[in-house]
Amino acid sequence: MSTRNPILAGLYGRAAEILPEIAEGAAERERLRELPRSQIREIAAAGLFTFRIPGEYGGAGSSVQEVFRFIIDLATADSNVAQAVRSSFGRVEALLAGSEADREKWYPRFLAGDVFGNAGWEIGGPNGAVRSRITQHGDHFKVNGSKYYSTGALYADWIGSAAVDDDGEKVFFTLPRDREGLRLIDDFDGIGQRLTASGTTDLDDVTVYADEIGKHDGRTGRSPVTPFLQLYLAAVEVGIAGNALADAVAFTREHARPIAHSSAERSVDDPYVQHAVGEISARVYAAEAAVLRAATAIDRAWAADLRADLLTAASVEVAQAQFFAVESALKAAELLFDVGGGSAVARSHNLDRHWRNARTVANHNPRYWKAGVVGAYRLNGTEPPVNGLF
């Protein structure tokens, strides 16, 4: 891809070298449940988390749309890897919207090839509630609690988390993964996206120092980080659909046989198989276009100093893109089986992983809520909720 930004061109060039290698072993890794530790390390070492870091800090200073072009390609190569590194991309975006002190502290870690994981969500209480506690002990703090859905934490150098302090306020902090009392457990048992290693993080009397607690810039209201992270999930769905398309083409060419009453001698010439592959391709095309268009809406908000109405518009566009990307990925994963007969369901081909992966990503944030919120906005001008889902 041509670009006048030499740093950005370099990132795209390194991605073009790395992604085919990641794609080549993705299906087998998932079948055998081999965690992609080396692949994630290679992505980090190549600087591929630094798209959005501004040029004055040593990054590419890319637009949101430019980084999402890469994220879609990464998810097409391996959707597990893409989702596992979502926290690293999200952290860069949060730093853009955060304090200068945090930018100066953490951007060099990304440029050095560090990986960031997330351990914020908990189960067993109301959705979104945090029951972990952080209490002050002299000049430092102690935190206790247990987290689930710790996406990417097993691969990370740094773990971001949250707890409630003595005043009942939510506190965000970042710890090195080897901090005493911090324990990462590989116990994620989802039907899909199994290699995201989104398991449990236990915090047992873990020390947190004052400079490990995130600083706030005083901004209130809707955050630009939320639509970015939600669009990221849509991009993962596009990647899953794209991977299903690649498998549909490969299976048709290499394995499929026409049914007995087909007019074709080869499956590649069967009109119904051609229709299935064509529909998958069209859905991938449209879903990718929707994600990239929504990315430009986030770019517009940044260009206007995060104007409130443009952030709201971006949240609506992202919700639309999410809805369509989920529908497209699930349908693509189903249509894949229409290109072959009974042999398509053999475990050795592992073609069911696409539906399992798409379904797992989709369950993070129900798509009917996305459509409902968009409908309320169009009909009544009701703005999307201001929370982590919009």
The rounded Cα 229 to chain-centroid distance in angstroms is 7
The confidence score (pLDDT) of residue 346 equals 87
Q: Which residue has the tokens 């398991």?
A: 199
What is the architecture of the domain spanning 225-380? Up-down Bundle (1.20)
DSSP 8-state code for residue 168: S
Nearest Cα residue to 188 out of 31, 33, 348, 353: 33
> Counting beta carbons within 10 angstroms of the beta carbon of residue 58, is it exposed (0 to 12), middle (13 to 18) or buried (19 or more)?
middle
The rounded Cα 238 to chain-centroid distance in angstroms is 11
Binning the chain into helix, strand and coil, the percentages to the nearest 5 are 55, 10, 35
CATH superfamily of 6-114: Acyl-CoA dehydrogenase/oxidase, N-terminal domain (1.10.540.10)
Task: Please report, for the chain, the start and end positions of each structural domain, with discontinuous segments joined by +.
Answer: 6-114, 133-212, 225-380
Please tell me the pTM assigned to this model: 0.96
Q: Tens of pLDDT along 274-300?
A: 999 999 999 999 999 999 999 999 999
The confidence score (pLDDT) of residue 1 equals 53
CATH class of the 133-212 domain in this structure: mainly beta
pLDDT of 216 strictly over 70: no
* Token pair in block for residue 200: 């449990």
d(CA 355, CA 236): 13
Q: Tens of pLDDT along 154-177?
A: 999 999 999 999 999 999 999 999
d(CA 320, CA 291): 9
